[in-house]
């Protein structure tokens, strides 16, 4: 017998194991072609990493990446641009209007004895010129009958696709080992990759560091058949803040996880803006009383825990009422702003500076100092104030009275008590000024 020539490398993708066996027997055992099989789209992508076929037979309805999506991905791969792509489906008759454009041939499944003839006919077209205008060769359609129930199910499928494609949330379906098998347009945009790059990739890999571990724990939890969500604390993906809600989907032998991701970045930015407004003094840009007490309270707790000494400075703008009466309230505001600028420039960025209200300011240092360094810190502030007065166009000199109190970890007190001590020292300073005058 003459040896058969022009043997091809063929990939058959179908979730029906009987059909895979029949196709292997036909194409490999009888015709001598090199045949590889895959039971779903994700497995097919794995096969294609090490196997470059001349022709691919693809079923339309499959778990873990369907036929239409797989065809689009295959056509986007440069090494497969010339592969002969054949749809082999039992719903070809009902899906005529929705057959994927990248395919070259579509075979309507029927009795295998008839289907086998069309399969062998399709193999003969390997290497031949394709039909112009992306036209699809149809085989076996004359022997197939359109089924009303299948048509209705496909109609519902189309409705759900329209909904998913227009949702504001990112929707993913992933396998039990967390590989992406479906992403709606919002999900593709969120992960900033092409669909063919996403499918088959691990979803947790798009999250980094601590967020990667959070997502993995979430997915492990949902595998125990309990819906799981990421909670109120956002998860970071690239520069976006998101929340995740995960659901287990079990269908006969297949199990997958639906992951719904909501981008809450704009909401978080708006909330942060409102929070900053609520803790910021409108006139000076320093922390207001609420902001200072909150930030200082946290730093105070750290000092208590690590047994560290810190200083609190309480300052009062001298004679603000006289300035307002003589020069006007705008001049008084300018004096307050000048003092705020001097405080901001005189202390470190890590120190907490706030305007507590009216003419009162406070500074909480974030680390301990020796007595010499404390004196140097105060001198630096008063030198900066003197320079500001020299450069000022206010027409009067801005002066302050200040008191300083130290938190002693060996004799702890509350933040309110520390402020009270510094306030007392400030009034002593002011009293001594009045005596001198």
Q: What is the pLDDT of residues 268-308, one digit of tens each?
A: 999 989 999 999 999 999 999 999 999 999 988 888 888 88
According to CATH, what is the number of the domain 9-143? 3.40.50.2300
- Contact between residue 219 and residue 260 where contact means Cβ atoms under 8 Å apart: no
> How many whole angstroms separate alpha carbon 191 and alpha carbon 175?
18
- Note the pLDDT of residue 327: 92
The per-residue pLDDT for range 96-119, each reduced to its tens digit, is 555 556 788 888 887 888 889 999
The pLDDT of residue 223 is: 78
Quote the pLDDT of residue 4: 45
Q: How far is CA 199 from CA 148, 176, 419, in A?
A: 32, 14, 60
- Rounded to an integer, the average pLDDT of 329-344 is 93
pLDDT interval class at 149 (50, 70, 90): very low
d(CA 392, CA 327) in angstroms, rounded, equals 15
Measured at the alpha carbon of residue 49, what is the angle toward residues 47 and 55, in degrees to the nearest 5?
60
Alpha carbon of 136 to those of 22, 49, 116: distances in Å? 25, 27, 19
pLDDT recorded at residue 100:
55
Q: Give residue 371's pLDDT.
A: 58
What average pLDDT does the chain have?
A: 85
- On the question of pLDDT at 132 being above 60, the answer is no
Is 362's pLDDT higher than 70?
A: yes
Q: Which of 206, 154, 149 has its CA nearest to residue 178?
A: 206
Residue 295 tokens, joined: 């930030």
280-436: which CATH number, 3.40.50.300, 3.30.70.270, 1.10.390.10, 3.90.1170.50?
3.30.70.270
Cβ-contact 398, 339 below 8 angstroms:
yes
Helix axes 289-306, 265-279, angle to 10 degrees: 100
The interaxial angle of helices 329-346 and 371-391, nearest 10 deg, is 140
Q: Considering only 60-64, 165-169, 301-305, 431-435, which range has the smallest mean pLDDT?
A: 431-435
For residue 332, what pLDDT band results from cuts at 50, 70 and 90? very high
Residues ≥6 apart with Cβ < 8 Å to 180: 172, 173, 174, 198, 199, 200, 201, 202, 203
Instruction: Identify the pLDDT of residue 418.
Output: 93
For the ranges 31-35, 173-177, 410-414, the lowest mean pLDDT is seen at: 410-414
Banded pLDDT at 393 (limits 50, 70, 90): confident
Q: Which among 226, 227, 181, 225 has a CA at the least distance from the CA of 202? A: 181
Rg (CA), the chain: 37
Q: How many Cα atoms occupy the beta-carbon half-sphere of 107 within 13 Å?
A: 21
Strand 360-364 relative to strand 235-237, pairing: unpaired
Lowest-pLDDT choice from 160-164, 176-180, 357-361: 160-164
Among the listed ranges 271-285, 316-330, 371-385, 386-400, which one has the minimum average pLDDT value? 371-385
Compute the distance between CA of residue 388 and CA of residue 337 in angstroms, rounded to an integer. Answer: 11
Give the integer Cα–Cα distance in Å for 183 and 189. 10
Q: Write out pLDDT tens, residues 43-55.
A: 999 999 999 999 9
Residue 200 has pLDDT above 70, yes or no: yes
The pLDDT-based confidence of 315 (bands split at 50, 70, 90) is very high
pLDDT of the residue at 437? 45
Highest mean pLDDT among 151-155, 228-232, 294-298: 294-298
Q: Which residues contact residue 122 at a Cβ distance below 8 angstroms, ignoring those fewer than 6 apart? A: 55, 57, 84, 86, 105, 107, 137, 139
Q: So where are the chain's domains? A: 9-143, 167-267, 280-436
- Do 242 and 234 meet the contact criterion of CB atoms below 8 Å apart? yes
pLDDT band at 2 (very low <50, low <70, confident <90, very high): very low
In this prediction, residues 66-77 reach a mean pLDDT of: 88
CA gap 83, 33 in Å, rounded? 15
* End-to-end C-alpha distance for the chain, whole angstroms: 125
Classified by CATH at the fold level, domain 167-267 comes out as: Beta-Lactamase (3.30.450)
What per-residue confidence (pLDDT) applies to 333? 94
What is the DSSP track for 96-122? Answer: GGG--TT-SEEEE---HHHHHHHHHHH
């Amino acid at each position: 017998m003459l040896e058969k020539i022009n043997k091809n490398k063929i990939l058959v993708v179908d979730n029906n194991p009987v059909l895979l066996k029949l196709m292997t027997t036909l194409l490999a055992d009888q015709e001598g072609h090199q045949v590889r099989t895959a039971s779903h789209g994700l497995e097919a992508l794995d096969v294609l990493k090490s196997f470059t076929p001349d022709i691919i037979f693809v079923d339309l309805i499959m778990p873990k990446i369907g036929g239409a999506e797989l065809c689009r991905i295959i056509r986007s791969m440069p090494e497969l641009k010339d592969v002969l792509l054949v749809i082999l489906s039992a719903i070809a008759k009902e899906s005529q209007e929705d057959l994927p454009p990248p395919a070259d041939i579509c075979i309507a499944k029927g009795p295998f004895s008839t289907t086998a003839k069309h399969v062998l006919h399709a193999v003969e077209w390997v290497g031949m010129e394709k039909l112009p205008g992306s036209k699809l060769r149809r085989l076996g359609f004359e022997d197939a009958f359109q089924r009303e129930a299948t048509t209705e199910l496909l109609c519902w499928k189309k409705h759900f696709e329209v909904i998913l494609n227009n949702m504001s949330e990112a929707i993913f379906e992933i396998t039990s080992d967390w590989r992406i098998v479906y992403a709606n347009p919002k999900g593709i945009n969120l992960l900033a990759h092409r669909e063919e790059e996403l499918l088959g990739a691990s979803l947790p890999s798009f999250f980094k560091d601590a967020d990667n571990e959070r997502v993995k724990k979430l997915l492990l939890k949902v595998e125990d058949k309990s819906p799981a969500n990421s909670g109120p604390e956002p998860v970071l993906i690239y520069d976006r803040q998101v929340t995740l809600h995960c659901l287990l989907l079990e269908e006969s032998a297949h199990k997958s996880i639906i992951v719904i991701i909501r981008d809450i970045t704009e909401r978080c930015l708006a909330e942060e803006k409102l929070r900053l407004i609520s803790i910021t003094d409108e006139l000076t840009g320093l922390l207001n009383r609420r902001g200072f007490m909150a930030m200082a309270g946290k730093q105070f707790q750290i000092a208590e825990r690590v047994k560290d000494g810190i200083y609190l400075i309480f300052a009062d703008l001298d004679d603000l009422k006289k300035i307002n009466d003589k020069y006007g309230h705008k001049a008084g505001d300018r004096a307050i702003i000048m003092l705020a600028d001097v405080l901001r420039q005189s202390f470190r960025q890590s120190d907490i500076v706030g305007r507590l209200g009216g003419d009162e300011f406070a500074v909480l240092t974030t680390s301990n100092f020796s007595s010499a360094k404390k004196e140097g810190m105060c001198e630096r502030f008063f030198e900066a104030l003197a320079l500001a007065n020299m450069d000022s166009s206010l027409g009067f000199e801005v002066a302050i009275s200040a008191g300083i109190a130290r938190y002693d970890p060996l004799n702890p007190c509350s933040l309110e008590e520390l402020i009270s001590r510094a306030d007392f020292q400030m009034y002593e300073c002011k009293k001594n000024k009045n005596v001198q005058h």
